[in-house]
Amino acid sequence: MAAVAVAGGRAYGRPPLFGAFSSATLILFTLAVLHALAALAAPVVQDTRSLKCRTCQLTVAHLDEALVPLLFDMLGKPTPPAYGAIDELVEAKVEKACLTSSIHLVAARRKVCAQLLEDHFDTIAAAFRAIADAHVNGDASDEPDAVTAVCGNSTRICEGKYADMEVSDVVKLEEQLALSSVSGAGNGAGEEDDEKRQFLSESKPGKKAQRTFGSARKLVASTFLDEVVVAEQRDAVVYFATPKATPRLHAATLANVHWLAEQTSSKGCLVGVLDVELNHVPPPYGTHLAAGASVQIYAAGRKRSPVVAFHHDVAHGDVGADVAPRRSDLLSILGRRAGRVDTQARANASAIRLTDAVRDGSAREL
């Protein structure tokens, strides 16, 4: 657990990102509760936020977690960033804000998020520039909160008591909602959650079952948090599989994920497969909605904002191998989005080998 303790906002000379609790503490708290209390009913949490408000808060809170450490890194270098570099970084991240899995995989939120970016792109970018400015001026106590700035009174996206919520409040509320949905207690919002669903998990895989997955690790709901989320310093690539709903797509995707595991798995990078037809992963970490097959990257240090590398909606039916994520695409996104430099380097080297092999005819691009 020692590795977990170094994660969170403190490493960047900032007060803990999530108010009184660091994200690591919250994850551990969640984990402890999941393990110990899964069978007991968690308290019912009142959440009367509109879909628009919740989506706004989730989007901005995820952005805060993904973007602020990068900004502080850039500002902490001995040489000041090049002119315009901060703006460029902020805008690039804001443009991709809806790709975070808790938004992207829920159709209703995806639409609202796209509209949010269209209407309020400048407000969002300005909120993060203001955080960078406050950091430069050394005024950490006066650092503006991005969620309040974007979703609060200035845009009136969230109203009443929700208008003043900060990043830390959003994280806490979402944790509570996740816990109550895991224990089946449900929540008040319910516009996209299947509240009645019980937490479902296959039994923990034995050594033998592990081996049948080659070097891609078999994950189940009850091991997901430990292996993917709590291991904060490790990159993880997770294939959320729907083998019954889309058998042909599954066969092709699984083959490529196995191949990816052979190329890139290491102590610092886990490649895993989780059958979402048999397992529910509590939000916000994965998706408990078996709405689709997906491959997601949980980068070291940014576990709350997994990046969707591939997604196929089950509603669109079983499709052929040509729709499966390509090997070169998986390597390329891992090379760019992994949290660890050694994972990136392994993916990049493998991508070069693949390109060479395809060029000289000794391999086919799959």
Helix (H) or strand (E) holding 111: helix 107-136
50 vs 332, which CB is nearer to ligand NAG?
332
Asked if 188 and 266 touch (Cβ cutoff 8 Å), the reply is no
- Provide the sign of the torsion angle of the four alpha carbons 224, 229, 234, 236, taken in this order: positive
Q: Which residue stretch of 196-204, 232-240, 245-253, 336-344 sits at the interface with ligand NAG (rule: CB under 6 A)?
A: 336-344
Q: Give the whole-angstrom CA distance, residue 230 versus residue 164.
A: 30
Binding status of residue 353 toward ligand NAG by CB under 6 A? no
Residue 118 half-sphere exposure toward CB, CA atoms < 13 A: 6
Kindly report the CA angle at 227 between 222 and 231, in degrees rounded to 5? 135
Least Cα distance to 178 among 15, 72, 31 occurs for 31
Binding status of residue 33 toward ligand NAG by CB under 6 A? no
Binding status of residue 153 toward ligand NAG by CB under 6 A? yes
Q: Which residue stretch of 51-59, 215-223, 270-278, 340-348 sits at the interface with ligand NAG (rule: CB under 6 A)?
A: 340-348
Binding status of residue 163 toward ligand NAG by CB under 6 A? yes
DSSP readout, 155-178? TTSS-GGGGG--HHHHHHHHHHHH
163 vs 185, which CB is nearer to ligand NAG?
163
Q: Shortest gap between Cβ of 344 and ligand NAG (angstroms)?
A: 4
End-to-end CA distance of the chain: 38
> Judged by CB under 6 A, which of 73, 119, 122, 159 binds ligand NAG?
159
Least Cα distance to 296 among 320, 268, 273, 263 occurs for 273
Helix (H) or strand (E) holding 343: helix 341-359
73 vs 159, which CB is nearer to ligand NAG?
159
303 vs 337, which CB is nearer to ligand NAG?
337
Assigned token pair, 85:
């570099």
Binding status of residue 292 toward ligand NAG by CB under 6 A? no
Q: Give the whole-angstrom CA distance, residue 231 versus residue 251.
A: 28
Q: Give the whole-angstrom CA distance, residue 280 versus residue 96.
A: 26
28 vs 269, which CB is nearer to ligand NAG?
269
Q: Fill in the amino acid letter for 81.
A: P
Binding status of residue 50 toward ligand NAG by CB under 6 A? no
- Token pair 């019954």: residue: 244
> Judged by CB under 6 A, which of 122, 164, 194, 365 binds ligand NAG?
164
Q: Shortest gap between Cβ of 39 and ligand NAG (angstroms)?
A: 39
Q: Shortest gap between Cβ of 197 and ligand NAG (angstroms)?
A: 34
159 vs 195, which CB is nearer to ligand NAG?
159
27 vs 149, which CB is nearer to ligand NAG?
149
Binding status of residue 154 toward ligand NAG by CB under 6 A? no
> Judged by CB under 6 A, which of 25, 222, 348, 355 binds ligand NAG?
348
Q: Which residue stretch of 158-166, 168-176, 203-211, 262-270 sits at the interface with ligand NAG (rule: CB under 6 A)?
A: 158-166
Positions that interact with ligand NAG (CB under 6 A)? 153, 159-160, 163-164, 332, 335-336, 341, 344-345, 348
